[in-house]
Homo-oligomer: A and B are copies of this chain.
Amino acid sequence: MKGRIIIRGVEHEGQSVDILIEGAYISRIGNDMPQLGADGAIEIDGRGKAVIPGLINAHTHAAMTLFRGIGDDIPLMHWLKEKIWPNEALLTHEDVFWGAKLACLEMIRSGTTSFMDMYYKLPATAEAVEEMGLRSVLACTCIDRFDPVMAEKSKRQVRALFTGMGGGACNPRIRLALGPHAIYTVSGALLQWIDAFSGENGVPVQIHLSETEEEVSNALRRFGLTPVRYLHRLGVLSPRLSIAHGLYVDDEEIRMLADAGVKVVHNPASNMKLGSGVAFRFVEMQKAGITVGLGTDGCSSSNNLDMIETMKLASLLGKAWRKDPETLTAAGMLRSATIDGAEILGIKAGRIEAGYLADLCLVDLNTPAFTPNHNFVSNLVYAANGSCVDTVICDGSIVMQNKKVSGEEEIIDRVREIAGKFV
C-alpha cells in the first residue's frame, strides 16, 4: 500500500499550488489543501520549483547505454555489422540488467518516468525497471529473417513471455509489447501473426518503419510497395501499432496511418546522427490526426536519453527544414513528449490533473535556463536540458529527490566493469 505525498507551493501553469498524491494517482490540486494528519504523509517543499508531467520516451533500446560512444561517425551498415551486432552477441542477462539500470538512472535524472523499449533479454530489462521504480512498455524483439524455423522460435518466445509476465503485466508499472524489428528482418507471415496475437491479447506493437531512403527503395524492390503500403496490404495497420521513425512517408501513406489509428514516434537525434534525413512530416501527420510522440532511440545512435533535448531537437529540426519559425512550438513539443507519449504507451499519464497517474517531475527554477522566466515552457524546451530536473515521482513513489537517485554510484561502477568487454 502506497502512502500519501503532498507537494506544497509548486509552480503549475504560472500559479503556486499544492498537489496531493494518494497511492499511484494525483488526487487533488489546489490552494486549500488541508493539513495532513500524523499518518506518515511525506511533505515536499515545491517552492522555487515547477511541476511538469513525467516525460515519456516512446522509443528506445535501454540497455544500449552499454554501447554509448562505440562506433560514432561511421556509416549505418558498417556501424551495425562491425560494432553493434558483434557486441550484442556477447550480451548476458546481467549485462542487459545493468545497462537497463543505467538507462533508468539516466532517464530519471532527466525527467523521464515512462518509456517504450525494444530489446533482447526482456526479463533483464523488466527487473531493472522494477527496481528503479519507472514505468515501461517492453517490446519483445521479434526477428525471423524470413526463415520459418526462426519465426516459430519467435512465436514460442512471445507466448512464453506473455505467460511468464502474467498476461503481459507482471507489475502495474511494466507491460509487455511486441517488437517486430523491421520489414527487412521480419516476414509478412510473422507480422500477421504478431498483429493477431496483439489483437487477441490487447498487447501493443512497435516496429521500426520508413527510417531511411534505402529501406524504402529496398521495400519497393522486394515487395513492390513502400513500407506503409506493404503493412497496409498485410492488413497489420491497427490502433495497437506504433511506428518508430516514419521519416519517409508520402501523403497517401500518412492517410493510411491516420485511417488505421497507427501512432508515430519521431526520433530526431537518431535520424540526424545516423544521417537518415531532415524531413520528418510532423505537421502533416498531426493535421491528419495521427498521434506523434517523441523518442531518443538507443544510446548507441543518439547518444543519450534526454527527452528535454529531444523536444528541442524536434522543434529546431522542423523549423529549420521548413524554414518556418512558427511551426513545432515549445508547447506542442511538450504535448508530444507527455500526453501523446502516454497515448502511445496506453497509460493514463502525461497530465498534472486529478485522476491521472502520479508520474511527475519538479524542475529547479533557480538556474540560468529559467532566468528570467517570461515563458516557462519555452525555457524548459529551448533553454534547459535534462539537468534541470530536481525531483521525480513515478507511480506515486519518489525515485529522485534533490537530484539524488538511490544506488547511482553502484550502477555507474558496475556498467564500467561490464563495458570493458565491448569494443
Q: Which residues of A line the B interface, CB within 8 A?
A: 65-70, 72-76, 79, 102, 105-106, 109, 213, 269, 271-278, 299, 302-306, 309, 313, 315-317, 319-327, 329-330, 366-369, 371-376, 378-379, 382-387, 409, 412, 415-416, 418-419, 422-423
Q: Across the interface, do A371 and B416 meet the contact criterion of CB distance under 8 Å?
A: yes
Known contacts A372-B69, A412-B371: A303-B383 contact under CB 8 Å: yes
Asked if B383 and A277 make an inter-chain contact with CB atoms under 8 angstroms apart, the answer reads no
Q: In the complex, what residue of chain B is closest to A275 when comparing beta carbons?
A: B325
**CB–CB B320/A382 < 8 A:** no
For residue A409, which residues in chain B have a CB less than 8 angstroms away from its CB?
A: 366
Q: Do B319 and A371 touch (CB < 8 A)?
A: no
The reply to whether A368 and B105 form a contact with Cβ atoms under 8 Å apart is yes
Residue among A79, A303, A412, A419 with the most chain B CB within 10 A? A303
Closest residue to A417 on the B side, CB-wise? B372
A369–B79 Cα distance when bound, in Å, is 20
Question: Can you name 19 A-B residue pairings with CB atoms under 8 Å?
Answer: A65-B368, A68-B371, A68-B383, A69-B375, A69-B376, A70-B374, A72-B329, A75-B326, A105-B368, A213-B323, A272-B320, A275-B320, A275-B323, A278-B320, A302-B382, A304-B382, A306-B385, A309-B309, A372-B422
- Taking CB atoms, residues of chain B closer than 8 Å to A305 are 368
Contact A325-B273, Cβ < 8 Å, known A372-B69, A374-B422, A412-B371: yes
Closest Cβ–Cβ distance, residue A173 to chain B (whole Å): 21
| Contact B272–A371 (Cβ < 8 Å) | no
Contact with A273, one of B102, B319, B384 (Cβ below 8 angstroms): B319
Specify which chain B residues have a CB less than 8 angstroms from the CB of A76 in the assembled complex: 325
Query: Do A378 and B275 contact each other (CB < 8 Å), given the known contacts A65-B368, A366-B409?
Result: no
Q: In the complex, what residue of chain B is closest to A79 when comparing beta carbons? A: B325
- Contact, CB under 8 Å: B303 / A416: no
Chain B proximity of A70: nearest CB distance (Å): 5
When chains A and B are docked, how far (Å) is the Cα of A409 from the Cα of B48? 12
Q: Known contacts A102-B368, A272-B317, A386-B387; can you find 5 more A-B pairs with CB under 8 A?
A: A72-B330, A72-B378, A72-B382, A75-B326, A278-B278
Minimum CB distance partner of A329 in chain B: B73
With contacts A277-B320, A416-B373 taken as known, whether A303 is within 8 angstroms of B378 at the C-beta atoms is: yes
